[in-house]
């Protein structure tokens, strides 16, 4: 059995494909896997770290602006589409896959489209609540469209192709319950834990806000624990706290890290999460039922993070706070209100559990196996 996964652009597109590749190989000895991504994409770094070979095609996005620079970029994209089509066919000729699966990113288009034209079983998985242009276009030619939310079904022309599977989450997220996670983190008191982390897009604004939020917490005596992942703004956050006279050494329950490498453990211990609303984050929150304040990034294509966040907010599992309405004061106020209301947080958790798909990888695996079995008959 040979399976080709094509994905890229974000870790949220790569991680589900890696989880599926591992599952197929664990259950089908001898199964060969190949990944295809875009030239220079982050997938060319992430996939090899997981032990898989990746080949690339030359593909770029379309920009919606009509500036001279955008028009020039779009002309280049059109030329790249022809080039990527030839590259995709060459890869299919060499690897000869039995199944091709796209999990998002521009590289998915030429590869999945070429495979479908050849009659190779094909499928796409869309983690976001509303499909992007690539998934929407490919949905017309693939055998199956797998989506994260029931609400997503209405966005496709042929609902009979759509299978609601959820989005795979790493098994590490299910390893600990809250009590076990807190013990492993060395917590010796009962203060609730707030976890905050923002994506790279727009992170500077939100890290400035969370700095103000932490200052307010510390001046109030740090009534709750807080672990914040500052990413590339780590030094600026520490400097901002210092300017406000906050020495974190005096507040052992408040921790600012550059990266939260043990995110599954930290999320398991959390009572409340402050974060963006990317597809992977949404999947993790629903899988482990952690109440959240979602501040969607306004800098993403088609504002898809707001659409993701709205699905959770409408179900009662999260608070949606637009970045334009957010501030350090507002975040501090919301955290205080939610931590003081355990009944509300429990209702949020119940809503998330009802939405979650902890067996998403299994559902996707079975859907893909059925495609293979149907073609073999």
| pLDDT tens per residue across span 69-98 | 666 756 666 666 788 899 999 999 999 999
Is residue 364 over pLDDT 90? Answer: yes
Q: Say whether 88 sits in a helix, a strand or coil.
A: helix
Residue 76: predicted pLDDT: 65
Of residues 98 and 155, more confidently modeled: 98
CA distance 56 to 280: 23
CA distance 325 to 319: 13
Is residue 11 over pLDDT 70? Answer: yes
Round to the nearest angstrom and report the end-to-end CA distance of the chain: 15
Is residue 283 over pLDDT 80? Answer: yes
pLDDT, average across residues 317-337:
97
Is residue 62 over pLDDT 80? Answer: no
In sequence order, what are the residues at sequence separation of 6 or more whose Cβ sits closer than 8 angstroms to the Cβ of residue 119? none
Read off the pLDDT band of 325 (50, 70, 90).
Answer: very high
Q: Which among 335, 351, 359, 185 has a CA at the least distance from the CA of 268? A: 185
Read off the pLDDT band of 3 (50, 70, 90).
Answer: very high
Q: Which domains does the chain have, with CATH numbers?
A: 2-167+359-376 (3.40.50.2000), 172-355 (3.40.50.2000)
Q: What is the DSSP letter of 132?
A: -
Is residue 201 over pLDDT 60? Answer: no
Residue 286: predicted pLDDT: 93
Share of the chain above pLDDT 90, in %: 71
> Chain centroid to CA 304: how far?
12
Per the CB < 8 A criterion, the answer to whether 360 and 283 are in contact is: yes
> Which residues face 225 on adjacent strands?
193
């Amino acid at each position: 059995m040979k399976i080709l996964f094509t994905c890229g652009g974000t870790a949220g597109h790569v991680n589900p494909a890696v989880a599926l590749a591992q599952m197929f190989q664990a259950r089908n000895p001898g199964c060969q896997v190949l990944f295809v991504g875009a030239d220079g994409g982050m997938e060319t770094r992430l996939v090899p770290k997981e032990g898989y070979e990746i080949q690339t095609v030359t593909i770029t996005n379309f920009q919606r602006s009509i500036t001279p620079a955008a028009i020039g970029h779009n002309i280049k994209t059109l030329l790249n589409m022809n080039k990527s089509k030839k590259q995709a066919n060459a890869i299919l000729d060499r690897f000869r896959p039995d199944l091709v699966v796209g999990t998002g990113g521009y590289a998915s288009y030429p590869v999945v489209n070429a495979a479908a034209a050849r009659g190779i079983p094909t499928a796409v998985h869309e983690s976001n609540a509303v499909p992007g242009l690539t998934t929407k276009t490919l949905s017309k030619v693939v055998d199956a469209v797998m989506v994260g939310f029931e609400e997503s079904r209405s966005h496709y022309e042929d609902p009979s192709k759509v299978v609601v599977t959820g989005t795979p989450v790493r098994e590490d997220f299910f390893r600990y319950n809250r009590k076990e996670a807190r013990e492993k983190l060395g917590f010796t008191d009962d203060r609730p834990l707030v976890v905050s982390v923002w994506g790279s897009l727009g992170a500077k604004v939100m890290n400035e806000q969370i700095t103000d939020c932490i200052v307010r917490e510390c001046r109030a005596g740090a009534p709750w624990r807080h672990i914040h992942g500052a990413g590339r703004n780590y030094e600026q956050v520490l400097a901002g706290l210092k300017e406000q006279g906050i020495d974190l050494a005096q507040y052992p329950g408040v921790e600012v890290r550059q990266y939260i490498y043990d995110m599954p453990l930290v999320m398991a211990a959390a009572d409340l999460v402050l974060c963006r609303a990317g597809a992977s984050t949404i999947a993790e929150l629903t899988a482990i039922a952690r109440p959240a304040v979602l501040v969607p990034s306004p800098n993403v294509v088609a504002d898809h993070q707001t659409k993701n966040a709205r699905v959770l907010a409408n179900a009662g599992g999260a608070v949606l706070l637009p970045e334009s309405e957010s501030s350090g004061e507002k975040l501090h106020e919301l955290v205080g209100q939610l931590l003081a209301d355990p009944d509300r947080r429990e209702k949020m958790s119940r809503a998330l559990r009802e939405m979650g798909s902890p067996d998403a990888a299994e559902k996707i695996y079975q859907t893909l196996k059925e495609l293979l079995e149907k073609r073999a008959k």
